[in-house]
Amino acid sequence: MTTSLDLLKQTGTVVVSDSGDFETHNTEIHTSVLMLSQDATTNPSLLLAAANKPQYARLIDVAIKYGKEKGGSIDQQVDAATDRLLVEFGKEILAIIPGRVSTEVDARLSFDKEGTKAKAKHLIALYESLGIKKERVLIKIASTWEGIQAARELERDDGIHCNLTLLFGFGQAVACAEAGVTLISPFVGRILDWYKKSTGKTYEGDEDPGVQSVKRIFNYYKQHGYKTIVMGASFRNVGEIRSLAGVDFLTIAPPLLEELKNSTESVPKRLDAQAAATADPIAKVSFIDDEPEFRWTLLQDQMAFDKLHEGIKKFAEDGETLKSVLRKKIQA
Protein backbone atom coordinates (compact mmCIF):
# COMPACT_ATOMS: atom_id res chain seq x y z
CA MET A 1 0.00 0.00 0.00
CA THR A 2 1.36 3.42 -1.00
CA THR A 3 0.73 5.84 1.87
CA SER A 4 0.42 9.63 1.88
CA LEU A 5 3.81 9.69 3.57
CA ASP A 6 5.30 7.71 0.66
CA LEU A 7 3.64 10.08 -1.80
CA LEU A 8 4.98 13.11 0.06
CA LYS A 9 8.50 11.73 -0.21
CA GLN A 10 7.98 11.04 -3.92
CA THR A 11 7.50 14.79 -4.48
CA GLY A 12 11.15 15.21 -3.49
CA THR A 13 10.51 16.48 0.02
CA VAL A 14 12.81 15.10 2.71
CA VAL A 15 10.78 14.15 5.81
CA VAL A 16 12.21 15.01 9.22
CA SER A 17 10.82 13.86 12.58
CA ASP A 18 10.12 16.70 15.02
CA SER A 19 10.51 15.02 18.40
CA GLY A 20 12.80 14.57 21.35
CA ASP A 21 10.92 11.42 22.32
CA PHE A 22 12.47 8.36 20.69
CA GLU A 23 10.87 5.89 23.08
CA THR A 24 7.21 5.60 23.98
CA HIS A 25 5.12 2.92 25.61
CA ASN A 26 4.48 1.83 22.03
CA THR A 27 8.14 1.85 21.08
CA GLU A 28 7.65 -0.13 17.89
CA ILE A 29 5.29 2.44 16.39
CA HIS A 30 7.35 5.46 17.38
CA THR A 31 10.64 3.99 16.26
CA SER A 32 9.07 3.03 12.94
CA VAL A 33 8.02 6.66 12.48
CA LEU A 34 11.55 7.86 13.21
CA MET A 35 12.99 5.29 10.83
CA LEU A 36 10.74 6.68 8.09
CA SER A 37 12.51 10.02 8.57
CA GLN A 38 15.84 11.18 7.19
CA ASP A 39 16.65 13.67 9.94
CA ALA A 40 15.23 14.70 13.31
CA THR A 41 14.82 17.98 15.14
CA THR A 42 14.53 18.73 18.84
CA ASN A 43 13.94 21.86 20.91
CA PRO A 44 13.90 22.70 24.65
CA SER A 45 10.14 22.19 24.91
CA LEU A 46 10.29 18.72 23.32
CA LEU A 47 13.24 17.68 25.49
CA LEU A 48 11.57 18.93 28.67
CA ALA A 49 8.53 16.78 27.89
CA ALA A 50 10.71 13.76 27.16
CA ALA A 51 12.97 14.25 30.19
CA ASN A 52 10.00 13.89 32.54
CA LYS A 53 9.33 10.36 31.29
CA PRO A 54 10.77 7.48 33.33
CA GLN A 55 12.20 5.66 30.30
CA TYR A 56 14.75 8.46 29.91
CA ALA A 57 16.09 8.22 33.45
CA ARG A 58 19.25 6.55 32.16
CA LEU A 59 20.09 9.60 30.04
CA ILE A 60 19.40 11.92 32.95
CA ASP A 61 21.74 9.80 35.08
CA VAL A 62 24.55 10.10 32.52
CA ALA A 63 24.08 13.87 32.36
CA ILE A 64 24.02 14.28 36.15
CA LYS A 65 27.17 12.20 36.54
CA TYR A 66 28.89 14.30 33.86
CA GLY A 67 27.82 17.55 35.50
CA LYS A 68 29.12 16.48 38.90
CA GLU A 69 32.41 15.33 37.43
CA LYS A 70 32.90 18.68 35.72
CA GLY A 71 32.69 20.31 39.13
CA GLY A 72 32.52 24.03 39.88
CA SER A 73 29.48 25.81 41.23
CA ILE A 74 26.01 24.24 41.20
CA ASP A 75 25.10 26.48 38.25
CA GLN A 76 28.16 25.32 36.33
CA GLN A 77 27.35 21.69 37.06
CA VAL A 78 23.75 22.22 35.91
CA ASP A 79 24.90 23.89 32.68
CA ALA A 80 27.30 21.02 31.99
CA ALA A 81 24.60 18.43 32.71
CA THR A 82 22.12 20.25 30.46
CA ASP A 83 24.53 20.30 27.52
CA ARG A 84 25.35 16.64 28.01
CA LEU A 85 21.65 15.75 28.16
CA LEU A 86 21.02 17.54 24.85
CA VAL A 87 23.81 15.54 23.27
CA GLU A 88 22.69 12.25 24.84
CA PHE A 89 19.23 12.69 23.30
CA GLY A 90 20.85 13.56 19.99
CA LYS A 91 23.08 10.48 20.12
CA GLU A 92 20.12 8.17 20.77
CA ILE A 93 18.14 9.69 17.90
CA LEU A 94 21.13 9.38 15.54
CA ALA A 95 21.22 5.65 16.30
CA ILE A 96 17.77 5.41 14.66
CA ILE A 97 17.90 7.85 11.75
CA PRO A 98 20.39 7.90 8.84
CA GLY A 99 20.76 11.67 8.63
CA ARG A 100 21.28 14.59 11.00
CA VAL A 101 19.86 15.74 14.31
CA SER A 102 19.26 19.37 15.23
CA THR A 103 20.35 20.41 18.72
CA GLU A 104 19.36 23.83 20.01
CA VAL A 105 21.56 26.47 21.60
CA ASP A 106 20.26 27.93 24.89
CA ALA A 107 17.55 30.44 23.91
CA ARG A 108 18.93 32.95 26.41
CA LEU A 109 21.88 33.36 24.05
CA SER A 110 19.64 34.52 21.21
CA PHE A 111 21.00 38.08 21.42
CA ASP A 112 24.61 37.09 22.12
CA LYS A 113 26.64 36.32 19.01
CA GLU A 114 29.83 35.25 20.77
CA GLY A 115 27.94 33.28 23.41
CA THR A 116 26.04 31.44 20.69
CA LYS A 117 29.24 30.59 18.85
CA ALA A 118 30.92 29.32 22.02
CA LYS A 119 27.92 27.15 22.93
CA ALA A 120 27.70 25.74 19.40
CA LYS A 121 31.38 24.79 19.42
CA HIS A 122 31.01 23.21 22.87
CA LEU A 123 28.01 21.10 21.78
CA ILE A 124 29.88 19.91 18.67
CA ALA A 125 32.90 19.02 20.86
CA LEU A 126 30.63 16.99 23.14
CA TYR A 127 29.20 15.11 20.15
CA GLU A 128 32.69 14.43 18.83
CA SER A 129 33.78 13.14 22.26
CA LEU A 130 31.06 10.49 21.83
CA GLY A 131 32.27 9.56 18.36
CA ILE A 132 29.67 11.56 16.43
CA LYS A 133 31.02 13.69 13.59
CA LYS A 134 29.88 17.30 13.27
CA GLU A 135 28.49 16.54 9.82
CA ARG A 136 25.63 14.67 11.51
CA VAL A 137 24.63 17.62 13.68
CA LEU A 138 22.80 20.86 12.93
CA ILE A 139 23.08 23.55 15.59
CA LYS A 140 19.72 25.26 16.04
CA ILE A 141 19.90 29.00 16.56
CA ALA A 142 17.10 31.59 16.77
CA SER A 143 16.84 33.82 13.69
CA THR A 144 17.78 37.06 15.46
CA TRP A 145 20.36 39.46 14.03
CA GLU A 146 22.95 38.06 16.45
CA GLY A 147 21.95 34.46 15.77
CA ILE A 148 22.23 34.87 12.01
CA GLN A 149 25.65 36.54 12.31
CA ALA A 150 26.84 33.76 14.65
CA ALA A 151 25.66 31.13 12.17
CA ARG A 152 27.38 32.97 9.32
CA GLU A 153 30.72 32.72 11.15
CA LEU A 154 30.18 29.15 12.38
CA GLU A 155 29.44 27.95 8.84
CA ARG A 156 32.25 29.95 7.22
CA ASP A 157 35.02 29.59 9.80
CA ASP A 158 34.31 26.34 11.64
CA GLY A 159 32.37 24.17 9.19
CA ILE A 160 29.57 23.86 11.75
CA HIS A 161 26.21 23.45 10.06
CA CYS A 162 23.32 25.51 11.40
CA ASN A 163 19.53 25.33 11.45
CA LEU A 164 18.07 28.82 11.89
CA THR A 165 14.84 28.43 13.80
CA LEU A 166 11.99 30.66 14.98
CA LEU A 167 11.88 32.13 11.49
CA PHE A 168 8.68 34.01 10.69
CA GLY A 169 9.60 36.93 8.44
CA PHE A 170 10.88 37.27 4.89
CA GLY A 171 13.76 39.51 5.99
CA GLN A 172 14.97 36.83 8.39
CA ALA A 173 14.92 34.28 5.56
CA VAL A 174 16.83 36.54 3.19
CA ALA A 175 19.54 37.26 5.78
CA CYS A 176 19.90 33.54 6.53
CA ALA A 177 20.42 32.73 2.86
CA GLU A 178 22.97 35.51 2.52
CA ALA A 179 24.74 34.16 5.62
CA GLY A 180 25.14 30.79 3.90
CA VAL A 181 23.41 28.81 6.64
CA THR A 182 22.66 25.16 5.90
CA LEU A 183 18.95 25.20 6.71
CA ILE A 184 16.09 27.41 7.89
CA SER A 185 12.94 26.42 9.77
CA PRO A 186 10.01 28.74 8.99
CA PHE A 187 7.24 28.02 11.53
CA VAL A 188 4.11 27.48 9.45
CA GLY A 189 1.65 26.71 12.24
CA ARG A 190 2.70 29.54 14.52
CA ILE A 191 2.23 32.02 11.67
CA LEU A 192 -1.27 30.61 11.20
CA ASP A 193 -1.95 30.91 14.95
CA TRP A 194 -1.07 34.62 14.93
CA TYR A 195 -3.30 35.41 11.95
CA LYS A 196 -6.25 33.44 13.31
CA LYS A 197 -5.99 35.26 16.63
CA SER A 198 -5.44 38.63 14.96
CA THR A 199 -8.22 38.42 12.37
CA GLY A 200 -10.66 35.90 13.82
CA LYS A 201 -10.68 34.16 10.44
CA THR A 202 -9.96 30.55 9.53
CA TYR A 203 -7.51 29.67 6.78
CA GLU A 204 -7.05 26.47 4.80
CA GLY A 205 -4.75 25.19 2.07
CA ASP A 206 -3.15 27.85 -0.11
CA GLU A 207 -4.89 30.60 1.88
CA ASP A 208 -2.93 29.64 5.01
CA PRO A 209 -0.53 32.56 5.76
CA GLY A 210 2.13 30.13 7.00
CA VAL A 211 1.96 28.15 3.76
CA GLN A 212 2.15 31.38 1.75
CA SER A 213 5.21 32.49 3.70
CA VAL A 214 7.13 29.28 3.00
CA LYS A 215 6.19 29.34 -0.69
CA ARG A 216 7.50 32.90 -1.03
CA ILE A 217 10.77 32.02 0.68
CA PHE A 218 11.17 28.85 -1.39
CA ASN A 219 10.54 30.71 -4.67
CA TYR A 220 12.92 33.52 -3.71
CA TYR A 221 15.71 31.10 -2.81
CA LYS A 222 15.35 29.15 -6.05
CA GLN A 223 15.13 32.29 -8.20
CA HIS A 224 18.31 33.74 -6.74
CA GLY A 225 20.31 30.51 -6.52
CA TYR A 226 20.60 30.18 -2.75
CA LYS A 227 21.57 26.72 -1.48
CA THR A 228 20.06 27.09 2.01
CA ILE A 229 17.50 24.32 2.63
CA VAL A 230 13.93 25.45 3.35
CA MET A 231 12.40 23.18 6.01
CA GLY A 232 8.80 23.95 6.90
CA ALA A 233 8.10 23.36 10.59
CA SER A 234 5.42 23.65 13.29
CA PHE A 235 2.39 22.25 11.52
CA ARG A 236 -1.16 22.35 12.85
CA ASN A 237 -2.68 19.85 10.38
CA VAL A 238 -1.79 17.61 7.45
CA GLY A 239 -3.46 20.08 5.08
CA GLU A 240 -0.55 22.48 5.61
CA ILE A 241 1.89 19.65 4.90
CA ARG A 242 0.12 18.65 1.67
CA SER A 243 0.10 22.30 0.54
CA LEU A 244 3.91 22.36 0.80
CA ALA A 245 4.65 19.03 -0.92
CA GLY A 246 7.80 19.47 -2.96
CA VAL A 247 9.51 21.92 -0.59
CA ASP A 248 13.07 20.91 0.34
CA PHE A 249 12.37 19.50 3.82
CA LEU A 250 9.41 19.25 6.21
CA THR A 251 9.86 18.55 9.92
CA ILE A 252 6.72 16.84 11.16
CA ALA A 253 5.61 15.82 14.66
CA PRO A 254 5.03 12.07 15.21
CA PRO A 255 1.20 12.28 15.41
CA LEU A 256 1.04 13.96 11.98
CA LEU A 257 3.60 11.51 10.59
CA GLU A 258 1.37 8.69 11.81
CA GLU A 259 -1.65 10.33 10.18
CA LEU A 260 0.18 10.53 6.85
CA LYS A 261 1.42 6.96 7.23
CA ASN A 262 -2.13 5.71 7.81
CA SER A 263 -3.62 7.61 4.86
CA THR A 264 -3.63 6.82 1.14
CA GLU A 265 -4.88 10.26 0.06
CA SER A 266 -2.97 11.70 -2.88
CA VAL A 267 -0.20 14.24 -2.27
CA PRO A 268 0.49 16.13 -5.50
CA LYS A 269 3.65 18.18 -5.83
CA ARG A 270 2.87 21.81 -5.05
CA LEU A 271 6.33 23.39 -4.97
CA ASP A 272 8.92 22.89 -7.68
CA ALA A 273 12.41 24.38 -7.85
CA GLN A 274 12.44 24.67 -11.64
CA ALA A 275 9.00 26.25 -11.76
CA ALA A 276 9.98 28.64 -8.97
CA ALA A 277 13.04 29.77 -10.90
CA THR A 278 10.86 30.82 -13.83
CA ALA A 279 7.89 32.16 -11.85
CA ASP A 280 7.04 35.84 -11.41
CA PRO A 281 10.33 37.43 -10.35
CA ILE A 282 10.83 38.48 -6.73
CA ALA A 283 13.17 41.44 -6.49
CA LYS A 284 16.48 40.69 -4.78
CA VAL A 285 17.06 42.45 -1.47
CA SER A 286 19.90 42.36 1.07
CA PHE A 287 20.05 42.49 4.86
CA ILE A 288 23.15 40.56 5.93
CA ASP A 289 25.42 43.60 6.29
CA ASP A 290 22.72 46.12 7.20
CA GLU A 291 21.67 45.68 10.82
CA PRO A 292 19.41 48.77 10.98
CA GLU A 293 17.47 47.67 7.89
CA PHE A 294 17.17 44.10 9.19
CA ARG A 295 15.80 45.29 12.53
CA TRP A 296 13.45 47.81 10.90
CA THR A 297 12.06 45.20 8.50
CA LEU A 298 11.47 42.78 11.38
CA LEU A 299 9.80 45.52 13.46
CA GLN A 300 7.50 46.38 10.55
CA ASP A 301 6.28 42.78 10.39
CA GLN A 302 4.22 42.61 13.58
CA MET A 303 3.58 38.88 13.27
CA ALA A 304 7.26 38.01 12.80
CA PHE A 305 8.36 40.35 15.58
CA ASP A 306 5.78 38.99 18.04
CA LYS A 307 6.32 35.30 17.27
CA LEU A 308 10.13 35.49 17.28
CA HIS A 309 10.27 37.02 20.74
CA GLU A 310 7.43 34.88 22.09
CA GLY A 311 9.22 31.76 20.82
CA ILE A 312 12.55 32.75 22.37
CA LYS A 313 10.86 33.44 25.69
CA LYS A 314 9.01 30.10 25.70
CA PHE A 315 12.11 28.08 24.75
CA ALA A 316 14.09 29.92 27.45
CA GLU A 317 11.42 29.19 30.05
CA ASP A 318 11.35 25.50 29.15
CA GLY A 319 15.15 25.44 29.18
CA GLU A 320 15.13 26.88 32.70
CA THR A 321 12.52 24.33 33.82
CA LEU A 322 14.71 21.54 32.45
CA LYS A 323 17.67 22.96 34.36
CA SER A 324 15.62 23.07 37.56
CA VAL A 325 14.90 19.34 37.15
CA LEU A 326 18.62 18.65 36.78
CA ARG A 327 19.53 21.00 39.65
CA LYS A 328 17.32 19.05 42.07
CA LYS A 329 18.95 15.80 41.03
CA ILE A 330 22.48 17.19 41.35
CA GLN A 331 21.69 18.51 44.84
CA ALA A 332 19.89 15.34 45.95
Answer whether 155's CB lies under 8 Å from 176's CB: no
Q: What is the DSSP string of 14-35?
A: EEEEE-S----TTHHHHHHHHH
Q: CA 106, CA 112: separation in Å to the nearest integer?
A: 11
CB contact set of 86 (below 8 Å; sequence gap of 6+): 42, 47, 103, 104, 123
CB atoms within 10 A of CB 83: 22
Catalytic residue, candidates 9, 140, 215, 222: 140
- Residue 233 DSSP code: B
First to last CA, the chain: 52
CB contact set of 100 (below 8 Å; sequence gap of 6+): 39, 40, 94, 135, 136, 137, 138, 161
Q: CA 259, CA 3: separation in Å to the nearest integer?
A: 10
CB contact set of 174 (below 8 Å; sequence gap of 6+): 220, 285, 286, 287, 288
Q: CA 233, CA 241: separation in Å to the nearest integer?
A: 9
Of all helices (H) and strands (E), which one includes residue 265?
Answer: none
Query: What's the alpha-carbon Rg for the chain, to the nearest Å?
Result: 19
140 belongs to the catalytic site: yes
One-letter amino acid identity for 228?
A: T
Helix pair angle (145-158, 291-300), 10° resolution: 130
Cite the active site residues.
140
